[in-house]
Amino acid sequence: MQRIKYLLHECHSQIGGKSLRLEKRREISVKYQSVVALGISATVSSVAHANDKAVYAHPGQSVSLQAGVGYTWLEGNELVYDGQGNRISHLIWDTQAPVLTLGADAEVTDNWRIMAHGTFGFSGTGKSHGADYDWIVPLSPSYAFNDWSGRSLSPADLDRYIAVDIAAGRDFVIDDATKVNIQGGFKYTDVKWTDHGGSHVYRSAGFRDDVGTFANVPGITFEQRYPAIFLGAQAARTSGLWTFTGLLRGGVSVSPSDTDHHWLRDIRFEDRYDLAPFVSLGAQAGYKVAANTDFFVGGSYDRYFRTKGDMTPYDIPTGTQLGGPNVNSAGMDFYSLTLSAGLKMTF
């Protein structure tokens, strides 16, 4: 009987021990599962938080290309001054024409980018005009604009319009959705017109008494060239599927020049300038229509401020210099306003 009690006691002890060990294993398993769950939850939460917060976190090198069509308004001014600095001639060229716009943006290393943009107008497109005013004293009462002694108005053709730039800059992240790129670069603008025919008002026996027309042949061809350097800033902000961009640049055109052919007189004027300050403004709104494609609308404004330079005349048939250079006898300026729309793709 004692042996039976002893065996029953041993069995009960072993069963109780196994129960305790199983209970401990259950506690360890529950704790382990809880730790794993917490770890996974923390990891997912961290990734989600990082993705939500770092809109402009470095995603690796990328390239974007954009192309669009638009419309531009151009105006170029050409002036002639006498020895006392009085304006004695002023030609005004204006154009409204369709343009093609192209752009590229490449991240070459962490936060450093190279950007390029071009606007192109083509020969024979749009509407252009040339207006030529002269002030010849004593035929003119004064040198005020409305006291001109002679004026000609002619239809014109835009022979070409090219405005290209390339810049290098560094991105600075301002907040979760905003970055600013500080940049510098090179810009080149070339615009050329030719007028033909038209009407004129001159003075003969009396003030503005000679009224007539020109034959429908080329009269004047005028070209301006502006090589320039600049510094600037571009800000971009993302809001949902929208991206808004603003651009401000300022700089100086170094050694700008113009060429003026007067075909009916067989004289070519070459004008050279030292410096011409300029400013560029731009804005663009893009809407994401696919994973890597945005539709955009934008506008830009460029102004090269008026500057004075030296003028040298040449005979067109022979190329012989006819005098000069006449110091500070030439002046020019130019502005453009362009609106465009198109697609931007990022790779």
DSSP 161-217: EEEEEEEEEEEEEEETTEEEEEEEEEEEEEEEEEEE--EEEE-SSSTT-EEEE--SS
Interval 31-43: pLDDT, tens: 434 433 333 343 3
Please write down the long-range contacts of 272-275, taking CB distance under 8 Å and 24 or more positions apart.
272/309, 272/310, 272/312, 272/325, 273/307, 273/308, 273/309, 273/310, 273/330, 273/332, 274/307, 274/309, 275/307
Interval 9-20: pLDDT, tens: 443 444 344 343
pLDDT recorded at residue 28: 36
Pairing of strands 275-290, 127-134: unpaired
What's the average model confidence in pLDDT over 79-107? 98
Burial string for 78-109 (b: 16+ CB within 10 Å, else e) reads bbbbeeeeebbbbbebbbebebebebebebee
Q: What is the mean pLDDT of the chain?
A: 87
What's the average model confidence in pLDDT over 262-269? 97
The Cα–Cα gap between 247 and 44 comes to 38
Residue with more model confidence, 77 or 44: 77
Interval 162-219: pLDDT, tens: 999 999 999 999 999 999 999 999 999 999 999 999 999 998 888 899 999 999 999 9
pLDDT recorded at residue 11: 38
49 by DSSP, 3-state: which?
A: helix
pLDDT recorded at residue 61: 65
Quickly state the pLDDT bin for 138 (edges 50, 70, 90). Answer: confident
pLDDT recorded at residue 203: 86
Quickly state the pLDDT bin for 30 (edges 50, 70, 90). Answer: very low
Quickly state the pLDDT bin for 3 (edges 50, 70, 90). Answer: very low
Is the pLDDT score of 313 beyond 80? Answer: yes
Kind and range of the H or E run holding 253 = strand 242-254
